[in-house]
């Protein structure tokens, strides 16, 4: 929400907020930073001719194409549609302390470096951060400090079928952008982790052994999917029939035994304990529980994310025509 606050403070109405945000991002950031192809968007089709489809593994480990995920009003949290060249220009603007590749001042060096300053400690992993001595979250950036004093300023992201990473080492005047068409769960981040640490280990002798750990983690994630797949059975229509219908938050459970959220389709399988699991899509391998609330209303719990109640069932009675309105009727 913080990304919208400056516009609200300047008097932009709620109805105009998302469109104005997209315009201002171009005027204040994309254009000045040399990000010629960047824009706020969900779907590249119709905007560019050279684009990629995103993929996610199913419970066999095979990649399956996904629909483009919606961003909508979440845009300030990462709604930029951009190319590798666009993101490289953005990272170079940071390395140049706020000056773009064509020499334009985009932001002051002081304000930029304030964003990098860590405030909230971030836990370290012995497996993937062996030479990092401190890590903290700033304003949109994670700041790692290595044993030799080198700083790594970075952030990653992911949406249906895509994983991204941008980072730079200010003292080394070196940046890195990694974009891949692999779903965040459960394998996407391993590729950028591998590339980053290959660079760190070969150029600076830091985090040696982490590329091998990243590769092993990727293979283990695929093995975990396949193991889960061997324990997963098709969902019985009779067991899910009482839960079919529309739910809060835009969720739908349909007769084809898929859980839908807008353009997202998440097929369900059943585990030996009777719980359900997502067998493909954005939340592959995530558990789903079909239960009832205290008032017997069906509900869906997407474990670790949210729980929603049913609003309209598939057996709802047909719409009844309102009787004629009489003058004495009170509303």
Enumerate the H helices of 261-300 as residue ranges. Answer: none
HSE toward the beta carbon, residue 79, CA cutoff 13 A: 21
Spell 226-241 as b/e; 16+ CB within 10 A means b.
Answer: eebbeebeebeeeebe
Of the candidates 127, 173, 124, the one whose C-alpha atom is nearest the C-alpha of residue 145 is 124
pLDDT value, residue 237: 86
Task: Divide the 331 residues of the chain into consecutive groups of 10 and give the mean pLDDT of each group.
Answer: 93 95 96 95 91 96 94 89 96 97 95 96 96 96 97 96 97 96 96 97 97 98 97 90 95 94 94 95 96 96 97 61 37 27
pLDDT value, residue 139: 93
pLDDT value, residue 317: 40
- Tally of helices (H runs) and strands (E runs) in the chain: 7, 19
Burial classification of residue 149, based on how many CB atoms lie within 10 Å of its CB (0-12 exposed, 13-18 middle, 19 or more buried) = exposed
Read off the pTM: 0.88
pLDDT value, residue 321: 40
pLDDT value, residue 35: 97
| 3-class SS string, 130-148 | CCEEEEEECCCCEEEEECC
Give, as one character, the DSSP assignment of residue 79.
-
pLDDT value, residue 325: 38
CB atoms within 10 A of CB 107: 18
Enumerate the H helices of the chain as residue ranges. Answer: 5-9, 17-25, 84-95, 109-116, 188-204, 210-230, 237-240
Of the candidates 222, 240, 236, 232, the one whose C-alpha atom is nearest the C-alpha of residue 313 is 240
pLDDT value, residue 315: 52
Which pair of tokens denotes residue 17? 């907020």
pLDDT value, residue 212: 98
pLDDT value, residue 73: 83
Enumerate the H helices of 170-328 as residue ranges. Answer: 188-204, 210-230, 237-240
Task: Give all strands of the β-sheet with 132-137 in edge-to-edge order.
Answer: 120-121, 132-137, 142-146, 151-159, 162-169, 174-180
- The helix-helix angle for 210-230 and 188-204 (nearest 10°) equals 160
The SS3 of residue 155 is strand
């Amino acid at each position: 929400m913080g990304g919208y606050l400056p516009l609200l403070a300047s008097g932009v109405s709620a109805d105009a907020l998302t469109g104005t945000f997209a315009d201002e991002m171009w005027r204040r950031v994309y254009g000045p930073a040399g990000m010629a192809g960047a824009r706020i968007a969900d779907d590249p089709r119709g905007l560019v001719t050279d684009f990629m489809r995103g993929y996610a593994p199913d419970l066999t480990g095979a990649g399956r194409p996904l629909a483009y995920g919606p961003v909508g009003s979440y845009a300030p949290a990462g709604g930029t549609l951009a190319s590798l060249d666009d993101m490289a220009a953005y990272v170079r603007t940071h390395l140049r302390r706020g000056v773009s590749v064509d020499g334009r001042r985009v932001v002051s060096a002081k304000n930029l470096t304030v964003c990098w300053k860590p405030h909230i400690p971030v836990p370290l992993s012995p497996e993937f951060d062996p030479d990092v001595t401190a890590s903290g979250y700033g304003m949109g950036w994670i700041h790692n400090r290595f044993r030799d004093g080198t700083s790594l300023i970075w952030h990653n992201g992911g949406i249906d079928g895509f994983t991204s990473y941008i980072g730079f080492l200010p003292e080394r005047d070196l940046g890195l952008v990694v974009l891949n068409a692999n779903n965040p769960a459960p394998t996407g981040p391993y590729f950028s982790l591998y590339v980053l640490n290959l660079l760190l280990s070969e150029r600076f002798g830091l985090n040696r052994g982490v590329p091998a750990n990243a590769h092993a983690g990727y293979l283990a994630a695929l093995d975990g999917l396949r193991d889960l797949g061997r324990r997963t059975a098709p969902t019985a229509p009779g067991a899910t029939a009482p839960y079919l219908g529309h739910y809060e938050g835009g969720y739908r459970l349909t007769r084809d035994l898929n859980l839908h959220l807008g353009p997202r389709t998440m097929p369900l399988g059943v585990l030996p304990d009777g719980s359900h699991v997502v067998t493909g899509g954005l939340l592959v391998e995530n558990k789903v529980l079909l239960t009832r609330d205290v008032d017997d209303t069906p509900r869906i719990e997407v474990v670790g994310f949210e729980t929603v109640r049913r609003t309209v069932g598939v057996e709802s009675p047909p719409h009844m025509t309102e009787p004629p309105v009489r003058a004495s009727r009170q509303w």
